[in-house]
Chains A and B, each alone.
Chain A
Amino acid sequence: MRSHFYEYRKFVLAGIALVIVLCYIVRLAFLQLSDGEYKTRADDNAFFNNVIFPARGVIFDRNGELLVFNQPAYDIMVIMREVSNLDTLDFCKTIGITQKQFDERMALIKDRNKNPGYSTYTQQLFMPQISAQEYGVFQEKLFRFHGFYIRERTIRRYATDHCAHILGDVAEVSQKEVDNDDYYDPGDYIGKQGVERSYEKELRGIKGVQILLRDARGRIQGHYRNGEFDRKPVPGKNLTLSIDAKLQALGERLMEGKMGAIVAIEPKTGEILCMVSAPSYDPHRMEGKQRSSQMMEMQRDPMKPMLNRAISGTYPPGSTFKTSQGLTFLQEGIITSSTAYPCYRGFVTKGMRVGCHGHGSPLPLIPAIATSCNGYFCWGLYHMLSNRKQYKNIQEALTTWKDYMVSMGFGYKLGVDLPGEVRGMIPNADYYDRRLGQWNALSVISIAIGQGEVTLTPLQIANLGATIANRGYYVTPHIVKKIEGGHIADSLTVKHKTKVEKKYYDMVVEGMRKAVLGGTCRSANTSMYEVCGKTGTAQNRGKDHSAFMGFAPKENPKIAIAVYVENGGFGATFGVPIGALMMEQYINGKLSPASEAKATSFQNRHIDYGTRER
């Protein structure tokens, strides 16, 4: 039997079968029992996460007036595969584009390098954010344009012409923002400036998602597990700002044609009542698809309208700073209420002179504040820095001085809930050691009158006003009063006590009151309430800056304010009258006819800044 001779070969064949099956089982184990790589790739294949965008929170002013809201916008979408018999001419006319733009747009969609998610089966974005009118016309003809669809989105709209710097704006996220926060995907919107940015997390809400099954051609085949894992979107929280829209509007009106800032704070709470930065812009310019071109235009403007000078601009505080000096000298015992320094048209010593204007001499603190005497405060600082009984050396003396300044909110960011705040400058001993090497009280004397190295933001000046109004403390200035369904950060409601006792503040308040009654701020005086104030005339390379810092009423102050007009001249020229009008508007809720006329006149007083880059 030949066949028996080869019968052993059945084992060879059985062995081949065994080896094949074993090899395949090992391969299966390799594919299926190793890491989850294939599982992830399968999910990436099959699951399409359809994101449902939550409504962004809307924004109100402190009186419940609507400032920012959402409006539906319409994107035109296209499914390439379904486009047929398109009357291109009619289509282009309907949405107002040219044939060339149409061809370019179509080519861009089909370019897989620029549009990696391209599929002929799924909706592709043809044109974003057409207006309601365009939508109306398009909608009527839609049945003729096979393959085109409308996708609803919302755009941010402004109900006010003011508050541009405070409100900020939204725009598409940048790649960096996508990388830094898992919440965002390319194409999402994010707050870029102002409150929109600093309260992005509260405003944006939580995205919802529908997990859909997508086939190999990108078509949707239904919900995964009947929507078991879907999530509903959580709408963003509404914000109530501490801003008084009417006050803000008046402020912006008064600052027309000028550069500078107005900041008003409710002293007790630290709530910012208005924050004007001039020049400003109409927030409507940031709406919708025109944003990027508008922004480019503004960034090229030498007046820098995008800059929020109230928190991002630093200025020499000038004489408004003298109040902080008086407080420091009193607390440190350098002066008492009766200490009088001479001033013969200035601070004159050892071949040095800081000029002053004519007034009685010698004089004590209160009239020194009222008349804004330079000599008095220079002598005060001179005596403090030269006091070797109290301080080992000048460094220690200046460090003590610096600590007082910092306790009043200078030299560091106040921590306002807006992006872009800067810290200003309070020099310390180290700074002068490095800059000057050998130095004495005279080398740095100009800091006593808010000149020299000292710079503050208008917000810090206003905060100084609030501190004096409160007689010794301030609450972190903040712009958001209430978050619907949430609460504002604890850091915004903390009371910061300065290093100066209340009794000294009372003296400075008295000086500021005297300034209004008979000193530099006379024009702010009114019979309706007791105003306290301090002018500032800050020297700089060009014409002096005009500043005013004050609060009213004297008892139980409702408003503290800082006005800063670049190159406005004397503090009394622009600062005082604008400050007075603002306080009247806030305290009375309206302007008297006389004040109204005054406001119009100030609105029309423009300052020529030339065209140089600033």
Chain B
Amino acid sequence: MVGQEQSSKGIFLSIDWVTILLYVILIVWGWFSVCGACYDYNNPDLFSWETNSGKQIVWGGTSLVLAAILMLIEKRFYDTAAYVIYGAMMFLLLITIFIAPDTKGSRSWLPIGGSVKIQPAEFAKFAVALALGKLMDKYGFTIRKTKDIGIAIALIILPMLLIIAQKETGSALVYFAFFLMLYREGMTGSLLFTGFACVVYFVVGMKFSEDYIANMPVSIGEFTVLLLAMIFTIGMVWVYCKNLFAVKLMAYICFGGTLLAMIFSLYVIPFNVCYVMLVLCILMIGYIVGLAFYTRLVRYSLIALFAIGSTAFYYITDTLFEHLGDHQRIRIEVLLGMKDDPRGAGYNVNQAKIAIGSGGLFGKGFLNGTQTKLRYVPEQHTDFIFCTVGEEEGFIGSAGVLIVYLFFIWRLIAVAERQTDTMGRVYGYCVLCIFLFHLFINVGMVLGLTPVIGIPLPFFSYGGSSLWGFTLLLFIFLRMDAERNLKQR
């Protein structure tokens, strides 16, 4: 009994109050933003249940209650029930597809009495994080073992598929955040790098495919992608295989060949240098394949695969792009800044930029924003809430929010790193990676830097589901963290 009492006291002392402080700052700041975004000229009462700002107070208050309750549930419970929770959530996601009413084309909202609806996809994240933690905590789990990482990835992919089936692609993409956690846990960085390379190829290739270098019939997009493919491939051979001879050989031939071709094209007869580069890439791939056979090292084959993918990437996406539906193609073109279409697909982003840009250094002041209040920015209280911050609080305010977020994420990294078991750490990384991903996509889309994917900004966007979902994620972790000292004893 005495031990129990001591442990409760110990837990209270071990709670990470820094994180909680940042959490409260973000929630309160978020509430002010919702007030600005939802202010109704005809109903200026910020606390009325009739207004979104009034409701948000309730969501915030209940979140604090939820947080308090979560602090009472011991880690042992999650350890035991992780898979059960995961299974139950997957079941919930599955039936949601069938029973949820159609809301703006998606079937992800479950009505639970009155006007209150919840979105199971927001709550599934913590179940996946728990299951991953449990899985990786298992004795003998090795991330480099194909079977083990296969299971882990399956745990991630399953809810993604279910959520995509609900037509909530945006929420499904959030699950990619778990790959960041896998990276921390030892997944090879080349996978992350491959993902990064794909994005770069896509953006550069698409954006500049119609631009030409100086006086040559050379598409800048095609040229750059091929050049990057060479650089990345040679770099990988250098980093992963440490074969300096091969690196030098490939570098001289590829870059030298390209340079010669360019000089020839510039001063003698203009021709498409990319043909030469393509031949050089194929030569390079052949050489690496040869090395793979010669050395019998798997990594050469993998690099060869990467090189083939990189080389082919531009041509494949270019072809696919031609066959995309108009709607999607325009969205991509607008995002990449290739098309200016302020009334159509670019409307949201354009209005978001106007709202933020009009804020200036200090902003227009609380409740003085005009763009968000007059509904120029669609979804201004949910996905585009950051506009209100930008407009009413200006550069100071919006940069401030980003900096608080940065500290919040850094703090979570520190807390995750001090966990004494794998489950705590894995779960912690899952949580912080989700926050990071949301921040990255949401603010990026408002600023016109990332695609318009409808996911909320944690603690700022209006809505009970997302606020509760993020609170759930965070406080399970904080409770786990509070117990870190107990186990050691």
Contacts and interface: CB of A to CB of B under 8 A. Distances in A.
Interface in B404-456: 405-406, 409-410, 413, 416-417, 422, 425, 429, 432-433, 436, 439-440, 443-444, 447, 449
Given A6-B185, A27-B449, A216-B376, A38 B370 contact: no
A45 B370 CA distance: 9
Given A25-B402, A27-B447, A32-B356, A45 B374 contact: yes
B252 interface: no
A39 B425 CA distance: 46
Nearest to A39: B358
A296 interface: no
Contacts of A20: 436, 439-440, 444
Contact of B417 (A7, A12, A42): A7
Contacts of B375: 215-217
Given A10-B184, A215-B374, A221-B41, A39 B436 contact: no
Given A32-B390, A217-B375, A42 B395 contact: no
Contacts of A41: 354, 357-358
B376 A39 contact: no
A14 interface: yes
B355 interface: yes
Contacts of A7: 417
Interface in B178-194: 180, 183-186
A191 to B, nearest CB: 37
A28 interface: yes
B360 interface: yes
A24 interface: yes
A31 B355 CA distance: 10
A29 interface: yes
Given A10-B417, A13-B413, A31-B353, A3 B425 contact: yes
Contacts of A37: 357
B394 A32 contact: yes
B436 A46 contact: no
A24 B417 contact: no
A18 B410 CA distance: 9
A24 to B, nearest CB: 5
A213 B374 contact: yes
A43 B360 CA distance: 13
B398 interface: yes
Given A14-B410, A24-B443, A217-B375, A33 B361 contact: yes
Contact of A39 (B357, B373, B390, B444): B357
A449 to B, nearest CB: 73
Interface string A521-549: 00000000000000000000000000000
A38 B436 contact: no
Interface string A33-59: 110011101110111000000000000
A431 interface: no
Nearest to B398: A28
Interface string A202-237: 000000000001111100011000000000000000
Range of interface residues on chain B?
A: 35 or more
B371 interface: yes
Interface string B318-354: 0000000000000000000000000000000001011
A32 B374 contact: no
A2 interface: yes
A24 B447 contact: yes
A27 to B, nearest CB: 5
Contacts of A33: 360-361, 395
A37 B359 CA distance: 11
A9 interface: yes
B405 A21 contact: yes
* Main SS class of interface, A: helix
Contacts of B410: 14, 17
B360 A39 contact: yes
B65 interface: no
B406 A17 contact: yes
B403 interface: yes
Contacts, number: 132
Interface string B351-387: 1011111111100000000110111100000000000
B395 A32 contact: yes
A28 B184 contact: no
B72 interface: no
A597 interface: no
B376 A45 contact: yes
Nearest to B347: A216
Given A42-B370, A216-B376, A6 B449 contact: no
A494 interface: no
B390 A28 contact: yes
A42 B185 contact: no
A300 B422 CA distance: 97
A43 B357 CA distance: 12
Tell me which of B358, B371, B425 has the highest count of chain A C-beta atoms within 10 A of its own C-beta: B358
Tell me which of B359, B374, B429 has the highest count of chain A C-beta atoms within 10 A of its own C-beta: B374
B353 A38 contact: yes
B399 interface: yes
Contacts of B403: 21, 25
A24 B361 contact: no
Contacts of A18: 406
A262 to B, nearest CB: 61
B69 to A, nearest CB: 30
Contacts of B359: 32
A5 interface: yes
A41 B376 CA distance: 12
A18 B413 CA distance: 12
A38 B356 contact: yes
Contacts of B409: 14, 17
A23 B353 CA distance: 16
A46 B417 contact: no
Contacts of B440: 20
Contact of A32 (B183, B357, B406): B357
Contacts of A216: 351, 374-376
Nearest to B357: A38
Contacts of A27: 447, 449
B385 to A, nearest CB: 15
B436 A16 contact: yes
Contacts of B444: 20, 24
Nearest to A41: B354
A423 to B, nearest CB: 54
A5 B188 CA distance: 13
A113 B394 CA distance: 36
Contacts of A46: 370-371, 374, 376
B185 A31 contact: no
Contacts of A31: 353, 356-357, 390, 447
Contacts of A29: 395, 399
Given A27-B447, A222-B41, A9 B361 contact: no
Given A10-B184, A33-B395, A215-B374, A3 B355 contact: no
Contacts of B422: 3
B441 to A, nearest CB: 10
A580 B436 CA distance: 99
Nearest to A17: B409
Interface of A: 2-3, 5-7, 9-10, 12-14, 16-18, 20-21, 23-25, 27-29, 31-34, 37-39, 41-43, 45-47, 213-217, 221-222
Interface of B: 41, 142, 180, 183-186, 351, 353-361, 370-371, 373-376, 390-391, 394-395, 398-399, 402-403, 405-406, 409-410, 413, 416-417, 422, 425, 429, 432-433, 436, 439-440, 443-444, 447, 449
12 contacts: A9-B184, A13-B436, A17-B436, A18-B406, A21-B402, A32-B390, A32-B398, A42-B355, A43-B370, A45-B370, A45-B371, A215-B374
Given A10-B413, A45-B351, A46-B370, 8 more contacts: A6-B186, A16-B180, A24-B447, A28-B399, A31-B356, A31-B390, A42-B357, A215-B374
Report the 4 A-B pairs with minimum CB-CB distance, sorted nearest first: A38-B357, A42-B358, A46-B370, A215-B374
